Amino acid sequence: MSAENALEYDVIVVGGGPAGSTTAALVAMQGHNVLLLEKEQFPRYQIGESLLPSTVHGICQLLGVSEELREAGFMPKRGGTFRWGSNPEPWTFSFSISSKFSTEASTAYQVERMKFDQILLDNARRKGVEVRERTSVTDVVEDDGRVCGVHFTDADGVRHTARSRYLVDASGHKSRIHQRVGGKRLYSEFFRNIALFGYYTGGKRLPAPNQGNILAAAFDSGWFWYIPLTDELTSVGAVVRQAELERVQGDREKALSKLIDECPLIAEYLADAQRVTDGPYGEIRIRKDYSYSKEAFWRPGMVLTGDAACFIDPVFSSGVHLATYSAMMAARSINTSLRDQTQETAAFEEYEARYRKEYALFHDFLVAFYDMHQHEDSYFWNAKKVTNNTASELESFVELVGGGASNEGALVDAGSYLTERASAFEELSQIVQRPVHVEGEDRNLLQASLARSVVKAGARIQVQAVIGENADEQTPVRPGGLIPSLDGMHWTWPAA
């Protein structure tokens, strides 16, 4: 064990995937001292390549990486094309159907995760997070019933201990420490599927303008995803029922080819394609038992985000959305508690309630979606039912599968969200005639003593009187619940 005793942070984040780098950046942007520990050396391979508008235009804009994403040249994704249900013909939806996804936000991306995750991790570094790669967390440190740090092993095999006021487990489905929040990981019987996947060059594309869409094709044993990552490269995966386990266990190459032969649409799209056989895309991989939810998402001093807390199913590409949305909400809870620890229980209960609500929406919708005997109209109807939406059935479906069902302004129009909050602070500064310091794109507003006072009920009412509904655009999602603060990076109590 190293004699390095002085490792003290406000927050330690375990894992540098989308959940970890988002939480770390949004906490560091409030001026807190954050250490992020990542087991691998980036860029590292990860599955989960089809993104939703809520991630691309919501969270990524809050993080300030929109320009970098544009420059990375990722494949634009307008929506999805499905050969699914009782309709023998493929049907297509576009995000632009929903009024929530304005012109720019009506396109998401298909990404190579090695590149996407690297952009988010580098951004966290730039925001002031201390990032250590090739560093593996082995256990948590507890003191008097509270989690207060981690034990980890560095790239040279040296063991260390670091202490923090909050620990974030964002170490994904392979988390070694999730059990330390208590409760079990409950695996879903319904979604107990197996995924077998590889990469191809030269696969066919859907006709323009939908050439960047995810294509999902059902067949007797399950369904295929077909994700165009570049003009040349395609991610192809079969999701089959647990009963098919034996078929995929032996020779993976043969098993994948056989499954492709059984699905005429995918066979047609891959007719002239070659499987990639070297480099990070050269392996045919298997994932199973990936659908679960933890009984508890937090305990004093520790919170689970992203896959460490729960994951449902790949069919609507909700994984990175849930990872980054949960990360934003966990960051709010941490920022709130670091400012005032008496708010800890309320802040983390809010986090857990909202994360479970979003998870439940996708879960309940997907249970009905896996009934292959329905026409797509019935799936759209079901989306309206589970979201309790007043919009049309098709629009409700698109809002849900675009990641916009939660009514979080930050997920569907982050640009206006940031502008509204900046101008609300401006208005407030004029009311009390003291300047507010706005720090560039980080909008590090809460560091100003004036800004801190905003969360107090009196100031809130004062702001509301002047700027109207902007001060309280959100209503609680449950009785007695909290709402996002004026700066969007904390929780606060709704005005009486």
Contact range with ligand FAD by CB under 6 A, out of 34-42, 198-206, 353-361, 448-456:
34-42
Report whether 52 contacts 28 (CB < 8 A).
Answer: no
Interface with ligand FAD includes 136 (CB under 6 A)? yes
Interface with ligand FAD includes 241 (CB under 6 A)? no
Q: Which two tokens stand for residue 408?
A: 């979080």
Contact range with ligand FAD by CB under 6 A, out of 172-180, 265-273, 350-358, 428-436:
172-180
Report whether 445 contacts 425 (CB < 8 A).
Answer: yes
Between 170 and 361, name the residue whose CB sits nearer to ligand FAD.
170
Q: Which two tokens stand for residue 314?
A: 């790949």
Interface with ligand FAD includes 81 (CB under 6 A)? no
One-letter amino acid for residue 240 of the chain: V
What phi and psi, each to the nearest 5 degrees, are found at residue 42?
A: -75, 150
Work out how close the CB of 356 gets to ligand FAD at its nearest, in angstroms, rounded to a whole number: 16
Q: Does a cis peptide bond (omega within 30 degrees of 0) precede residue 209?
A: yes
Count CA atoms within 13 Å of residue 374 on its CB side. Answer: 13
Interface with ligand FAD includes 198 (CB under 6 A)? no
Interface with ligand FAD includes 34 (CB under 6 A)? no
Interface with ligand FAD includes 350 (CB under 6 A)? no
Dist CA 427 CA 434 (whole Å): 11
Contact range with ligand FAD by CB under 6 A, out of 42-50, 248-256, 360-368, 388-396:
42-50
Interface with ligand FAD includes 149 (CB under 6 A)? no
Interface with ligand FAD includes 421 (CB under 6 A)? no
Interface with ligand FAD includes 65 (CB under 6 A)? no
If DSSP codes are grouped into helix, strand and coil, which group holds residue 18?
helix
Q: Which two tokens stand for residue 243?
A: 């009963």
Between 324 and 343, name the residue whose CB sits nearer to ligand FAD.
324
Work out how close the CB of 436 gets to ligand FAD at its nearest, in angstroms, rounded to a whole number: 33
Report whether 162 contacts 278 (CB < 8 A).
Answer: no
The single residue among 24, 34, 37, 386 that binds ligand FAD, judged by CB under 6 A, is 37
Interface with ligand FAD includes 213 (CB under 6 A)? no
Q: Site mask, ligand FAD, residues 441-460, x = CB under 6 A?
A: --------------------
Interface with ligand FAD includes 283 (CB under 6 A)? no
Interface with ligand FAD includes 488 (CB under 6 A)? no
Which DSSP helix (H) or strand (E) runs through 418?
helix 414-432
What phi and psi, each to the nearest 5 degrees, are found at residue 79?
A: 170, -145
Interface with ligand FAD includes 39 (CB under 6 A)? yes
Interface with ligand FAD includes 411 (CB under 6 A)? no
302-304 vs 159-169, strand pairing mode: parallel
- Cβ-based neighbours of 38, under 8 Å, separated by 6 or more: 15, 16, 20, 121, 131, 132, 133, 134, 135
Dist CA 115 CA 109 (whole Å): 12
Interface with ligand FAD includes 311 (CB under 6 A)? yes
Interface with ligand FAD includes 60 (CB under 6 A)? no
Q: Which two tokens stand for residue 74?
A: 């990722």
Interface with ligand FAD includes 293 (CB under 6 A)? no
Interface with ligand FAD includes 85 (CB under 6 A)? no
One-letter amino acid for residue 306 of the chain: G
The single residue among 11, 13, 14, 331 that binds ligand FAD, judged by CB under 6 A, is 14
Residue with tokens 């002047």: 466
Which DSSP helix (H) or strand (E) runs through 235?
strand 233-241
SS3 content of the chain, % helix, strand, coil (to 5): 40, 20, 35
Contact range with ligand FAD by CB under 6 A, out of 39-47, 79-87, 198-206, 374-382:
39-47
Interface with ligand FAD includes 50 (CB under 6 A)? yes
Between 51 and 471, name the residue whose CB sits nearer to ligand FAD.
51
Interface with ligand FAD includes 114 (CB under 6 A)? no
Query: Hey, what's the torsion of the CAs at 340, 343, 344, 349, to 10 degrees?
Result: -150
The number of residues that bind ligand FAD (CB under 6 A) is: 38
Binding site for ligand FAD (CB under 6 A): 14-20, 37-40, 44, 46-51, 136-137, 170-172, 174, 176, 195, 237, 287, 290, 306-307, 311, 314, 317, 319-321, 323
